Structure 1
Amino acid sequence: MNLFAIIVLILGVIAIVFPNQFFMFGRSWMFKEGAEPSKAVTYMGRIIGVILVISVLLGKFK
């Protein structure tokens, strides 16, 4: 497994486990203090994380 695949896999797992923090990373300056992402953003972050993990795993077994 190359370095890029490992990084994408780690990002996918982080997006699944911590979707709010993953979304706010690099964007926190745009929002007021204490702002939380909506439920839709949380679900979409988890879906993107699952897609990233599946794509890395399928690429490894290809």
Structure 2
Amino acid sequence: MNINTANAEELDKLLLGVGPDKAAKIIEYRQANGFFDTPEALSNVKGIGAATVEKNRERIQL
């Protein structure tokens, strides 16, 4: 899934360990800071850690 274009509902459903609150934070971060340039950049979102990025690496597209 492209984390730069997915909406909060899609992020919530498709990313493991990401519920509606974290999905909303991903959207807020993206709106404030622009597109993610690497999967690891997702860990800049409060509440998303390196472990969440790793378990979703196969699901993350840019």
Q: TM-score range by the shorter chain?
A: 0.3 to 0.5
- Which one has the largest radius of gyration? 1
Q: TM-score, normalised by structure 2?
A: 0.32
Q: TM-score, normalised by structure 1?
A: 0.32
**Which of the two has greater helix per residue?**
1
- Between 1 and 2, higher relative CO (CA 8 Å, sep ≥ 6) is seen in 1
